[in-house]
Amino acid sequence: MYPDRNSSNIYPCINSSPIFSAVPTIPKCKNFYITMNQSVNDKEQDLVVYDWDRAYDIPASNPTPRQYALGFNYNNPTPDQSFDSTNIPTTIDKETGIIKYAVYGGPRGGYLLVNRVDEYRDGQKISSIFRESPVFLIDCPPIDSVTPNSQPEFYFDNIKQNEYEIAVEAGDKVEFPVQVVDNDSGATGLPQEVTLFTSGNQFAADFVDTINCATPPCAVLKNNVPQYDSSRNRYQVSGNNLASTNFEWQTNCGHLNADGSQKTYYFYFSAKDDHCPVPQQVNTYVKVTVGAEGIKGAPKVECIEELSSNNQITWSAGQDLANSFNKWIIYAGNTPPLPIVDSIANFNVMTYVDNHKFTYYQVKANVNSSCNNQSVTLESPIRRSGYQRYLINVSISDTNRIITAQDSTANSYQWYDCNADTIITDSTRQSFAPQDSGYYAAIITKGYCSDTTDCVRIFPVGLNENRFQQTVRFYPNPSSGLVNIELAEEQQSLQIKVRNIHGQLVQEEQFVKQGNLQLQITGKAGIYFIELVTGNGERANVKVIKR
């Protein structure tokens, strides 16, 4: 224990030190990826930080550090890659206390892992606890002469995954199924029994009573309620090849930090089979971040397009953010931390054009919190220019004069005439068969982002060259939005279509008996494609930049 912020006497105690939640298991299997749960329960739910520490010899009044063998250290306590290139060095997650390592080769015998947990309150360390965990790595026997005993596997929310993370708003209910699957049979041929057990500050003490924890409502497990095993002093769920239950937690404003900011909770899950003599055990966690209103709607930068004269940043956010929204705040610069460069008061405007072409960007949302009656800020990560949330494959193939975009997961495709520098109307499939010779590319859109493939040269059989295109003149380009169009001869009927960079039709006009005309592009600044279609079906296209 350490003095508090006011340096007052620590007796009587002002704090209950954290308590390790899991009993360590000593024998471990070589040739497997091992996880160990060294987490703690802390009654006051203060900030805890996990780390390595040294082993000491007696006497307690004057302890001396224990020396490690060559190739080992207190923060490298198991055989690393210097012993075997396939080994995975031991690491500890400083937020969760989960230890991970794998040993495939190296000295046999026992190893000592020493962990320290520091507890902080108001930015000051108030206690530290320590644990020595001996580990013996052995060649675990198989189920039969050849079949290894595999590890149980976790499914959270019906998806096979470890380290499940969720972000919710205060007031949301968190619900998801939890399953542990182990399809191995025992030595007798019967299914192995798999056991699931859990821990965490915010769990109900009996996993049933929603008020039996430090900050109710508590998280509980339903549909297959854990039963208390007095021999192991824990609640657990067991079953043949499968153990399952349902996680449920009703959050509220009391689950935020005292200042109304978001707070993170960890719920630990462990599973083991009953293989003798050494069961396989897996340890993992669920991370739930509870935030003020709007945390689920925090902005996500979708893409940062690098255009010729500017960069365009596009982001998205949950619609539930709209009712508490104040403004978007744009940060930009060439090196973090980034200064504020602009703000936008309209929730529906989620695009920003930067004429300075900075290197890094970040978008924050200033919103009103329903929990603390004050504004809070929700932020996206900092992103670099050129960023795409969903990466686009811009490779292209040419087979028998049919060109195909290789990204099969895109939302849309728009084929593009590189010679005319304009889109090809109605050519919006993944593959395209040109009728004219020339260079062609595809504009691929995925999510909010678009990217363009390289231009590929095509020589089709039976050329059908577009003569009308060569007789039309468009100017000025770039323009403020007003474009002059000159035709070689008067057209009895002329249809004009304007599409945006994604190929979406945004404007359409009809003209009769026109030789020269003016078109006002009504959209915001950006890239547009203008298509002219005569009464005879002849077409002309041009790309126009509106400033």
Task: Name which CATH class applies to 469-546.
Answer: mainly beta
**pLDDT tens readout for residues 299-322:** 889 999 888 788 999 999 877 788
CA distances, 260 to each of 5, 23, 252, 290, 308 (Å) = 22, 35, 11, 10, 43
CATH architecture of 295-384: Sandwich (2.60)
Which stretch of 116-130, 293-307, 470-484 has the lowest confidence by average pLDDT? Answer: 293-307
Burial class for 34, CB neighbours closer than 10 Å (0-12, 13-18, 19+) = buried
Q: How many CA atoms lie within 13 A of 81 on its CB side?
A: 4
Please indicate, yes or no, whether the overall pTM of this predicted structure exceeds 0.85.
no
Superfamily of domain 19-138 in the CATH hierarchy: Immunoglobulins (2.60.40.10)
CATH number of 153-291: 2.60.40.10
Would you give the end-to-end CA distance of the chain in angstroms? Answer: 65
- Tokens 């460069």, located at residue: 341
Sheet holding 311-316, edge to edge: 300-306, 311-316, 351-354
Residues written for the chain: 547
**Domain map (residue ranges) of the chain:** 19-138, 153-291, 295-384, 396-458, 469-546
Torsion of CA 439, 444, 450, 453, to 10 degrees: -40
- Whether the pLDDT of residue 491 is over 50: the answer is yes
Cis amide linkage into residue 141, ω under 30° from 0 = no
Angstrom distance (rounded) from CA 131 to CA 301: 43
CA–chain centroid gap for 114, Å, is: 32
In terms of DSSP H, where are the helices of 283-356? Answer: none
Tell me what percent of the chain is helix, strand and coil, each rounded to the nearest 5: 5, 50, 45
Percent of the chain with pLDDT over 90: 48
**pLDDT tens readout for residues 368-413:** 876 766 677 778 888 999 888 888 988 888 888 899 999 999 999 9
Mean pLDDT calculated for residue range 73-101: 94
What residues form DSSP beta bridges with 329?
A: 343, 364
- Whether the pLDDT of residue 167 is over 70: the answer is yes
Torsion of CA 534, 536, 538, 541, to 10 degrees: 20
> What is the SS3 assignment for 40?
strand
Q: How many CA atoms lie within 13 A of 467 on its CB side?
A: 2
- Whether the pLDDT of residue 472 is over 50: the answer is yes
> How wide is the angle at C-alpha 244 spanned by C-alphas 241 and 250, nearest 5°?
165
- Residue 192: phi and psi, rounded to 5, are -70, 150
Do the two domains 19-138 and 469-546 of this chain adopt the same fold? yes
